[in-house]
Structure 1
Amino acid sequence: MKISDLLLSVLVSSALAAADPALPLVKSNQLRRLINKSSLRARVRELHGIAMRNGGHRAAGSPGSVETMEWIENQIPTNYYNVERQYFEFSIPINSCSMTVNGTQPGFDFCFGSLGQHINTTITAPLALVPNLGCEASDYTGFAGKIAFIRSGSTCDHKLQFNLSVAAGAIGIVSASIPDDTLNARRDIDLNTRRDLSLDDPDLPNVGVVYTSGPNAQAVLEMLENGDQPTTIDIQVEWEYTYTANVFATTKGGNQSSIITVGAHMDGVKGGPGINDNGSGTIAQIEVAKALSNFSVKNAIRFCWWGGEEQGLRGSRHYTTQLSAAEKSKIVMNLNFDMIASPNYRYGVLPGDDPLVPPRNPSTGSAEIKQHFLDFFAKTGRNAVLADLVPSSDHWPFLDVGIPVGGIFMGAGGLKSEEEVTLFGGQAGVPYDSCYHKACDDKQNVNYQAFMTGAKAMADAVATYGRSIKDFPFPRPAAV
């Protein structure tokens, strides 16, 4: 990792002796055997205690976040790892919004005064329904001077829809996620996804946007069945500045020019302790990192605890954008573990090669990582499904810079299907995690069967790629 004033990186430990070369080379079955439920339970109690001592949460920049970082660092054996913090500052728009449609005020999720700029704005115009999927310029005929109601989660992303609507003359946007809408069959993009696509992107248009979902979105859609509706959107923006950090633990042993990054965000939302989201990934990384110190590796492993994920992947995006070309070329892959103890879980594998989500910087190797995790579940007698590859977790900034990704995601606020109940048990029509972003995401909000499986899946990948990347496409071709 590049250490510079720009990166604001603080070295916690770097001058200690390298890991003992006499240690046995890591093997998956041996590493997995060192992961145990009692240790996971102990770490859950400790992390929950941190949140409870700090106002009930561990949000980025808060005292709970600072104590979480210190707690992580104290767990890591510094004779085996170089432990570092990478500080960064970011701003969050705090928006005050209202939306009135034909004299009524339907609820909504959040808004932005102006994409990428967050300018205060008031828009009064007819609200009109975008036909079809909103993925073609022809879908926006006649939208000049109107507010476009766009169904999200179709076969194209928000950026394309937003740019097409503004190019056609729309002066505002209502982006709606309606799970039962047949035009929205591909995926129900969650709030983090929409937040990510709306932050700090110079290619997004300068227009006010309101996001709505579920029954609120359905109510507006039903109003639009009677034609365009007179609408006023008012958005006022204030800014909150936050200072936080990422934490890294990189093995002293192993080839430092072929680094496997393993990531989980350590922050939560202000609404709760964040034990499943993402204390589960945070804890699993601690336990796998400690277990790995009993072995040697051929390829360096860098465990990354990201800060500011809940505010738009701030930590992982800061890390990847600060990498020089030489540093980036040393990273073999990124493995991401977000929410791996969901109470009503499904074993979801991230498909980094998803052809329906064209990465902005195509990479090679994601298909191999996906297959590795599918094979792990199959070999251990478990079912698995492919999770949606949405830009709502810390794998996405790595895809943006051409680094292959993969990982595990066991579900957030989406509803479990009947087919998934057949594969994994649990309850159909109920969220994977009913406490997602809530105060009840506490020490009771953990499925330890899923948690153990997720932690062992992490250990298997770390051991496999720490031991050998012989058949993996690395080094990558130089970017064109």
Structure 2
Amino acid sequence: MRVSSTLAQCATIVGAVGLQIPLFWKPSQAPLDHPNGTKPLINSTELQDLISGDRLYARAKKLFEIAKLGEDEYNHPTRVIGSAGHLGTLSYIYEQILQLGDYYQLSNQSFPAVSGNIFQYRLVIGNDVPKSAYPMSLTPPTRDKEPVYGNLALVKNQGCQSTDFPPEVAGNIAFIERGLCPFGTKSENAGRAGAIAAIVYDNQNGSSPFGGTLGTPSPYHVATFSLSKDEATPYLKKLAKNKPVDAIAFIDSEVKTILTINIIAQTTSGSASNIVMLGAHSDSVASGPGINDDGTGTLSLLEVATQLTKFSLHNAVRFAWWAGEEEGLLGSDYYVATLPRAENEKIRMFMDYDMMGSPNFAYQVYNATNARNPVGSQELRDLYVGWYEGQGLNYTFIPFDGRSDYDGFIRNGIPGGGIATGAEGVKSKVEKEMFGGREGEWYDPCYHQLCDDVGNVNVSAWVVNTKLIAHSVATYAESLEGFPKRRVDEVRMEGGYEEETKFHGAKMFW
């Protein structure tokens, strides 16, 4: 399938600010009526029984065909925001919900999103090419997209204040310790001090690269690398002895602002004052088609939304497909930030479903507790635990640390939680005994890579977790009895979520 031939035949939907979504698919759909010809009250067991691995897998194959629309621009399948593959994804989601008739009220939310691409890079320090050196996400290029030359200039106090930068930073490469403040602040201060580039070295032992982002662009940001502590240490020792260390930095990148879309679908039945909300992100990284990340979550929501139409509800259910998650949770952040307070208070919880079918999976539950998060988060966590235990399945807790779209909800007082099956983390010996699979390998060996295609999905795990998604929706759509009422004015404890969270999506921001 090619973009040019497909676009010539498609209709368009015009978004709130003029963004067009091409409609690519006219798929056949199974009848949506309940077998008895009526719509009984939502029942968890009945809804779970409607989840089919065949239907999920068919959707995954269709999504991969959509990702191929990105080939003309990126030379490989991708659904990154701004690509034809992502526009096709939005079209597919939108049309699938449209086919469900008046069961849902469907809306687009257009918003400006910052998108970044890194095409080439190189860092040479002295005679070394550090293996852990990697450009920060949303870094600008080096001047004229050419190599720049200078000495390392050591910055005091982790570079969080302009006064931390000595005069010798000007015309040289700022060498900054990680910690205390966002990477974007460090890069901006370096640029204001006249640095031609910056390197943020880790303050935690290790030789592995760490993924960081500069976040919101600033005209003062400079080309910025991250570097492991192990590789930074020899240069720090030389600088401590006032020995010069020269370096060459090169980044060819672009940072641009585009328009993209969140898609929101809410049931027209059920109490609109008690909204059960769940979401997944519709985009992939630029480097691959993202069929597991987060095609699985996207398609799980579509399938649950489809089967839900066979039931009546006590509480309204709101599905969301976020754009720009891979650029730093842009869509979900925008959505929550623009919610009027009265609308915020109607959302009883937000459930995040990102990566439901990792090939070397573990059944992971976010360890969201009421001590660190809005009250209700722990009750949601316990719902997942209870379901896994009821199915005789093992599970494990993972940090609730800002890596997915729940982050904005938690920061705005809305209880949250979710499940996952693992990304670049390494499966332990204990987890191999619990879940099978391969010890010492990533949960998803194709995480953020070209090979994240249809063959990268464990369908059995995906079906299990889609049934759990169905259970979470059915439970709360039927009744919120026992679930804590919203405490919008709650003051969180010191040392809680906001103070400890270092991630904003897949990238660290400080």
Report TM bin, short chain. Answer: 0.7 to 0.9
In the other structure, the counterpart of 2:482 is: 471
In the other structure, the counterpart of 1:253 is: 269
In the other structure, the counterpart of 1:100 is: 124
- Secondary structure of 2:356's counterpart equals coil
Q: Please tell me whether the aligned partners of residues 123 and 234 of structure 1 are also in contact (alpha carbons under 8 angstroms).
A: no
> Structure 1 residue 110 and structure 2 residue 135: aligned?
yes
Change (3 A) 1:283 1:177: farther
Q: Please tell me whether the aligned partners of residues 106 and 263 of structure 2 are also in contact (alpha carbons under 8 angstroms).
A: yes
1:58 aligns with one of 79, 101, 106 = 79
- C-alpha separation in 1, matches of 2:246 and 2:331: 37
Q: Please tell me whether the aligned partners of residues 274 and 346 of structure 2 are also in contact (alpha carbons under 8 angstroms).
A: yes
- Secondary structure of 1:346's counterpart equals coil
What's the TM-score once normalised by structure 2's chain length? 0.74
Change (3 A) 1:311 1:348: same
Q: Deviations over 1:186-235 (max 9, x none)?
A: xx9963xx33xx31299xx977642246xxx6444465566657254566
What's the TM-score once normalised by structure 1's chain length? 0.78
Change (3 A) 1:51 1:7: closer
Shift of 1:38: 1.0
Q: Please tell me whether the aligned partners of residues 105 and 268 of structure 2 are also in contact (alpha carbons under 8 angstroms).
A: yes
- Secondary structure of 1:71's counterpart equals helix
> Structure 1 residue 338 and structure 2 residue 338: aligned?
no
Q: Please tell me whether the aligned partners of residues 112 and 210 of structure 1 are also in contact (alpha carbons under 8 angstroms).
A: no
1:436 aligns with one of 444, 447, 451 = 447
- Secondary structure of 1:79's counterpart equals helix
The aligned runs of 1:386-405 (5 Å cut-off) are: 386-405=397-416
Question: What runs of 5+ residues in structure 2 fail to find an aligned partner?
Answer: 1-14, 24-32, 72-76, 492-510
Give 2:353's aligned amino acid.
F
State the structure with more CA Rg: 2
- C-alpha separation in 1, matches of 2:327 and 2:461: 26
- Secondary structure of 1:457's counterpart equals helix
Give the number of aligned pairs.
437
Q: Please tell me whether the aligned partners of residues 346 and 384 of structure 1 are also in contact (alpha carbons under 8 angstroms).
A: yes
Give 2:323's aligned amino acid.
G
Give RMSD over aligned pairs.
3.9
In the other structure, the counterpart of 2:470 is: 459
- C-alpha separation in 1, matches of 2:210 and 2:322: 20
The aligned runs of 1:286-365 (5 Å cut-off) are: 286-353=302-369, 363-365=374-376
Question: What runs of 5+ residues in structure 1 fail to find an aligned partner?
Answer: 13-18, 182-187
Change (3 A) 1:225 1:342: farther
Q: Deviations over 1:119-156 (max 9, x none)?
A: 9677955466999xx8999xxxx98668555467xxx8
Q: Please tell me whether the aligned partners of residues 278 and 350 of structure 2 are also in contact (alpha carbons under 8 angstroms).
A: yes
Shift of 1:352: 2.9
- C-alpha separation in 2, matches of 1:201 and 1:383: 43
Shift of 1:67: 1.4
Q: Deviations over 1:420-475 (max 9, x none)?
A: 11221111111111111111111111111210111111111111111111212223
Shift of 1:407: 0.5
- C-alpha separation in 1, matches of 2:433 and 2:296: 25
2:200 aligns with one of 143, 161, 174 = 174
Change (3 A) 1:423 1:250: same
> Structure 1 residue 450 and structure 2 residue 461: aligned?
yes
- C-alpha separation in 2, matches of 1:7 and 1:332: 32
The aligned runs of 1:228-247 (5 Å cut-off) are: 228=240, 230-232=245-247, 233=249, 238-247=254-263
In the other structure, the counterpart of 1:373 is: 384
